[in-house]
Structure 1
Amino acid sequence: MACSAQDSTLIGLCDGQLDPKRHRSSFLTNKVGGEPDWPPVFSRLSPRCGLCGGLSVHVVQVYCPLQASPYHRTLHLFACPRPDCSGRSESWTALRSQSLEAPGRPGPLPAPAPLVSDWCESADDWGMEDGFDGWGGGPDRIQDPQELGGEVPPVCDADVSQQLQHLCLSESGDPPVFCPFFINVVEESDLYGEDEELEHAQELLRDYERREKMEVGMLEESSCSIEKYEKTDAKHGDAAFSRFMKTISLCPQQILRYCRGGKPVFISKPPSSMAQLLSACSSCGGSRTFELQLMPALVHYLQRKDRSSEAELEFGTVLVYTCSTSCWTSGSESAVEEFCFVQTDPDQQLFK
């Protein structure tokens, strides 16, 4: 899966349940829940919550190679299962792992990665033939990057082990595990159907955006901004939430949106200090770019395998920002931590 700011946003949908007795997953698999799948050379890491220090649960695994890159690339998202930590950015962890393609083996790299086929075309064929899983993986597909060599983008000499101090090797007292599901995908533009319907929908969206800009402009120019804001708020409601709901209205069941370098859809107005909150890459110190976000419909599928009745995770949307250059050190066996920003569902406040 790959996407650029000029391409259509990819929409992730929850597909069939991943039965470990029938299906084999790898770090090339897109899935919800289950145990995280790491590249063969990687140590199995269990992130800890940045708030309470407890072990986090694996939420989503997304295989997302970049176009013209020699690396496989996977993102893992983890969250603290404790209700007291739910809905806070510090309780979430995003880890990026990369590994080189073994020469002479079939796969999506280094040719430009397909937009949809990794998720869609093989979704009904879980692929157990020829020693490969349904996503192009196999037991001997990846070699140790140290054996392959090759040039990589320059990165700083930061000690990754120090950056991931809140991670630990797998240990006793493992966190709960969510029931695993495959993730299917469609291009958002496909949801509009025929060209006439697409043009009509786009025109409605343009009209909506024009009205939004006019109202915001009137508020900013008014000398009685507070009074005007109260009137407009009562008439129109939360503008950010309205845009969010309009964006997902064509496909309310979407569990994630992917478009590296694109723009996120905020469920509520982002803080004015968002630029300052968006920390630099923990590995190279460079800037980050938006890559994907989890959507409210995902909460429904996060059910514990042990059938526990404990409270589920709560969030409105989880936005993931990753290193703009996707920096990587050849031979590394540790994942790079990326940045998560969590917004709660405004409706949750009605029940507290």
Structure 2
Amino acid sequence: MATSIHETVLVGICDGAIDKKKNTSYCTNKIGDRPDLLPIISLQCPICSLCQRGLSHVVQVYCPLATSPYHRTINVFACTNPQCSGKSESWIVLRSQCLDDDIKGRQDNKTKTCRESAMSRTDWCDEADDWGMDEEEQENVAESGERVRNDSVSEETDVSSKLQGLSIDGGLDQQSALQPPHAHVFQSFYISVMEETDLDGFHDTDHENELLREYEEREGVMVGEIRSCGSGEAHEEYEKATVKHGDEVFTGFMKKISLCPEQVLRYSWAGSPLFITEQPFNVSEMVPFCGHCGSPRVFEFQLMPALVSLLCSAGTNSDTPLEFGTVLVYTCRNSCWKSGSTVPVEEFIFVQPDPDQKLFK
């Protein structure tokens, strides 16, 4: 499905391993490790509906909506059992929310709220030293202010200014209950975020063109080069050809991510997903309405193939059998939340296998 020119797409990129000595919080965007729960949330380890094994934490995304007063975190879990690989039923996505008052009511001398001051995309990508502050620095961080309320009809998220990676005590006793001993704990990495439109010039186009040439040789298709123009915009010139594996959707997917093939996440609340294989003909009917308020669900973000190579067990060099093409996450359009709730809301997740997983190894 093509992305509308009016949609804002945020791209998540791996931004380095997380030091084990650094604590993370519910407002840290990260790969792996254990989830960091909002202060009022309680959660036992999610279980695979296919094999009944405990699920491993894959990613955590802090994504408050500009029109909402809630802190909002989404956690994605998956089963690493090879027999469950690539099946949507072996994945779970959970949405958690709470208000500033809920956090302040549970603060103590070891707990700090997330800083809400706006941060430019340049700070995200080029000045990433704020990741994992030490304790002395944390004490200088101001408490969260009230979220901006936007009366506009636009429901665009405020991710680029609100995603932060400051430390917080997540509660180790509670955390240990989230990951049973037999479940994989993936090595943890920070996720840095920038707008897709800002990718031009962010990467070395010579390097990207080399990757594209290698892809052309493998697949027997002419993709063309990424060419920088005087206006600062990059234009892609494509020539139609028959792909060896006959999957034009996959070829289009590769073209779309060619400016940043290492992206691990694409975020576009109420936007259009980027399918890696032919989308189901009844995709609109496939996504169920919210089971709590009955509202339609909208696309929010997807996990990308480059994430697969980062999902290795912490403390080992061995890969896990978790493989996928792309993982699509749909959430309640109203982001409904019952006051006083302590249990995350399960949303809808759809997994598409990769037609050529070896390209990302």
Relative to the length of structure 1, the TM-score reads 0.73
Identify the residue that residue 98 of structure 2 maps to in structure 1.
99
Query: 1:193-251 deviations in whole A, cap 9, x for unaligned?
Result: 387455452xx47xx6xx99xxxxxxxxxxxxxxxxxxx96799422111100011001
* Compared CA separation, residues 268 and 304, structure 1 to 2 (3 A): same
Q: Which moved more, 1:121-130 or 1:38-47?
A: 121-130
The answer to whether structure 1 residue 73 and structure 2 residue 79 are counterparts is no
* Compared CA separation, residues 32 and 84, structure 1 to 2 (3 A): same
* Compared CA separation, residues 9 and 172, structure 1 to 2 (3 A): closer
Contact 1:51/1:90 (<8 A) preserved = yes
Query: 1:246-299 deviations in whole A, cap 9, x for unaligned?
Result: 011001111111111111110010111222221111221210111100000001
Distance 1:33 1:9 in 2: 23
Identify the residue that residue 306 of structure 2 maps to in structure 1.
297
Query: 1:77-104 deviations in whole A, cap 9, x for unaligned?
Result: 0000101101111111110000102399
3-state SS in 2 of match to 1:255: strand
3-state SS in 1 of match to 2:50: coil
Identify the residue that residue 195 of structure 2 maps to in structure 1.
187
Identify the residue that residue 162 of structure 1 maps to in structure 2.
none
Contact 1:47/1:93 (<8 A) preserved = yes
Aligned-pair identity (%)? 47
Distance 2:78 2:264 in 1: 16
* Compared CA separation, residues 108 and 118, structure 1 to 2 (3 A): farther
* Compared CA separation, residues 68 and 108, structure 1 to 2 (3 A): farther
Letter aligned with residue 87 of structure 1: G
Contact 1:122/1:135 (<8 A) preserved = no
Identify the residue that residue 175 of structure 1 maps to in structure 2.
183
Letter aligned with residue 347 of structure 2: E
3-state SS in 1 of match to 2:288: coil
Q: 2:129 aligns with which of 124, 130, 134?
A: 124
Q: Which moved more, 1:185-194 or 1:298-307?
A: 185-194
Letter aligned with residue 80 of structure 1: C
Identify the residue that residue 273 of structure 1 maps to in structure 2.
282
Contact 1:132/1:138 (<8 A) preserved = no
Contact 2:54/2:179 (<8 A) preserved = no
Distance 2:309 2:358 in 1: 18
* Larger Rg computed on CA atoms: 1
Distance 1:42 1:33 in 2: 19
Identify the residue that residue 35 of structure 1 maps to in structure 2.
34
Q: Which moved more, 1:277-286 or 1:288-297?
A: 277-286
Distance 1:117 1:29 in 2: 18
* Compared CA separation, residues 119 and 291, structure 1 to 2 (3 A): farther
Query: 1:45-73 deviations in whole A, cap 9, x for unaligned?
Result: 21111211211000000000100311000
Identify the residue that residue 259 of structure 2 maps to in structure 1.
250
Identify the residue that residue 20 of structure 2 maps to in structure 1.
20
**Unaligned residue ranges in structure 2 (runs of 5+):** 105-111, 142-163, 171-176, 202-227
Identify the residue that residue 9 of structure 1 maps to in structure 2.
9
3-state SS in 2 of match to 1:47: coil
Letter aligned with residue 239 of structure 1: E
3-state SS in 2 of match to 1:330: coil
Letter aligned with residue 303 of structure 2: L
Contact 2:311/2:320 (<8 A) preserved = no
* Compared CA separation, residues 246 and 272, structure 1 to 2 (3 A): same
Distance 1:331 1:123 in 2: 35
* Compared CA separation, residues 254 and 40, structure 1 to 2 (3 A): same
* Compared CA separation, residues 118 and 99, structure 1 to 2 (3 A): farther
Identify the residue that residue 219 of structure 1 maps to in structure 2.
none
Q: 1:316 aligns with which of 319, 322, 325?
A: 325
Distance 1:291 1:132 in 2: 33
Query: 1:303-337 deviations in whole A, cap 9, x for unaligned?
Result: 10142746431100001011111111111100001
Contact 2:54/2:183 (<8 A) preserved = yes
Distance 1:287 1:36 in 2: 27
Letter aligned with residue 184 of structure 2: P
Letter aligned with residue 67 of structure 2: A
3-state SS in 1 of match to 2:314: coil
* Compared CA separation, residues 51 and 5, structure 1 to 2 (3 A): farther
Query: 1:100-148 deviations in whole A, cap 9, x for unaligned?
Result: 0239998666x9x7674785476222322143786356569xxxxxxxx
Contact 1:282/1:336 (<8 A) preserved = no
**Unaligned residue ranges in structure 1 (runs of 5+):** 141-168, 213-231
Letter aligned with residue 261 of structure 2: P
Distance 2:52 2:32 in 1: 21
Identify the residue that residue 345 of structure 2 maps to in structure 1.
336
Contact 1:131/1:139 (<8 A) preserved = no
* Compared CA separation, residues 15 and 132, structure 1 to 2 (3 A): farther
3-state SS in 2 of match to 1:84: helix
Letter aligned with residue 200 of structure 2: Y
Distance 1:264 1:240 in 2: 13
Contact 1:118/1:135 (<8 A) preserved = no
